[in-house]
Amino acid sequence: MQKTPESKLVDPFGRKISYLRLSVTDRCDLRCVYCMAEEMVFLPKKELLTIEELYRVASRMIDLGVTKIRLTGGEPLVRRNIMVLFEMLGKHLGHGLEELTLTTNGTLLARYAEALVQNGVKRVNVSLDTLDPVRYHQLTRRGDIAHVLAGIDAAQKAGLKVKLNAVAMRGGFLGEVDDLIRFAHGRGMDLTVIEEMPMGYTGHDRYETFLSLGALRKSLEQRWTLVPDAHCSGGPARYVTVKETGGRLGFITPLSCDFCASCNRVRIGSTGKLYPCMGQSGMVELREAIRSSESDEKLTELILKAIDSKPKGHEFSIEKDGICGLSRHMSELGG
C-alpha cells in the first residue's frame, strides 16, 4: 500500500508533524523587551524568501502532511504583500490544509481583519501583556495600545475568533493579570500566559523578571476557581476554565514544565531555515534548494532530513549571569 503524504512527517520519536509555524519577516513595528533589542539589526531583504518562495515551501509542507499553518514574524502584517500569501495558502483550505492562522501584535489588525476573513482565516492570536497604556509603551518601547484595542475590535467585528497571549513577568504583570482575565473573558476571548524564553540578547534581565507559571497559578487560585479543561488548540498550552468568568485560561511553560512529548510543530524562518525545535539551534537550510531548482526533489529531501533530526526536547534555561539559552532572537521565528 502506498504511503499517504502525512505519514512522511513522522519524527524519530513517533510524533506526527502536522503544524508549521512560518515566519514571513524578522521585522516588527514594536521592540518588546523580552523579544528584541531596542536597536535591532534586521536581515537584508534579499536574504528573505519572497512571497512566492514562502508559498512554495508551505505548499510542499502541506503535500507532505502539514494540516495547520500559522504565519508569524517578527510581525507578519508588516510584510509587504502579505495578503497575497494568505490568498494563495487560503486556496488549500479543505484540500489538505485544515487551518490557516497568524500571531500578531495587533497594531495593524484593524487594517487587515476583513481581508484575513476573506482568505479563510478564522482565528488569530494577539499579543497583549498589559492594558495600561503607559506600561504598554514601556514594554514595547514605542507602541500605542489604542491601535491594538482597535485591532481587536475590528477582528471581532469581522468575525475572527481572538485569543490573547501575555508574557508573564515579575513586577507590574502580577498586579494586572486579573484585569487581563476579566478583559479577555468579558469579550469572549481565551487568554494564554507564557513564561519568558531565553532567546537572544534584548538588554533585558530575564533572570530578574522570570516568573514561573506554577507560582502564578498558585497565586491565581487564591482568587479564582481554576477547573482543568481538556481543550487543545493544537499548540503547547494547557488550559483551565475560570469558574467565575466561564472563560479559558491557558498556560505555556517552556522552562518550568516539559511539553515536548506531544510536540507536533516545526518552524521555518523567513530566510528559509527549517528549525525542528524552537529551543535548539539545529536547523536545515532550504533557501538554496528553493532557488537553485524548480524541482521539489531536493527541497523534499531536506524537509524530511529536518524531520528526522527533530530532537526529543528543548534545553531552555535562564542563568543568573544573564547568559541566554539561544543567541537567536524570538523575532526570527515568532515564538
| Coil/strand/helix, residue 121 | coil
Residue 19 annotated as part of some ligand binding site? no
CA dihedral of 298, 303, 307, 309, whole degrees rounded to 10: 60
Tell me the helices (H) and strands (E) count for the chain, helix number first.
Answer: 10, 12
In angstroms, what CA-CA distances link 312 with 258, 276, 307?
11, 10, 11
Residue 123 annotated as part of some ligand binding site? no
Residue 277 annotated as part of some ligand binding site? yes
Give 3's contacts (C-beta < 8 A, 6+ positions apart).
Answer: none
In angstroms, what CA-CA distances link 115 with 104, 120, 164, 268, 282?
15, 9, 20, 24, 36
Residue 40 annotated as part of some ligand binding site? no
CB 268 within 8 A of CB 20: yes
Residue 21 annotated as part of some ligand binding site? yes
Which residue type is seen at 138?
A: Q
Strand order in the sheet with 226-229: 226-229, 238-242, 248-252, 190-195, 161-168, 123-127, 99-104, 68-72, 19-23, 265-268, 273-275, 284-285
Residue 322 annotated as part of some ligand binding site? no
Residue 103 annotated as part of some ligand binding site? yes
Residue 260 annotated as part of some ligand binding site? yes
CB 214 within 8 A of CB 257: yes
Furthest C-alpha separation in the chain: 61
| Coil/strand/helix, residue 210 | strand
Residue 32 annotated as part of some ligand binding site? yes
Residue 232 annotated as part of some ligand binding site? no
- E strand intervals along the chain: 19-23, 68-72, 99-104, 123-127, 161-168, 190-195, 226-229, 238-242, 248-252, 265-268, 273-275, 284-285
Residue 257 annotated as part of some ligand binding site? no
CB 75 within 8 A of CB 45: no
Query: Could you tell me which of 120, 39, 43 has the C-alpha nearest to residue 79?
Result: 43
Residue 124 annotated as part of some ligand binding site? no
* Binding-site residues from annotation: 21, 28, 32, 34-35, 70, 74, 103, 127, 163, 197, 260, 263, 265-267, 277
* Binding-site residues from annotation for [4Fe-4S] cluster: 28, 32, 35, 260, 263, 277
* Binding-site residues from annotation for GTP: 21, 70, 103, 163, 265-267
* Binding-site residues from annotation for S-adenosyl-L-methionine: 34, 74, 127, 197
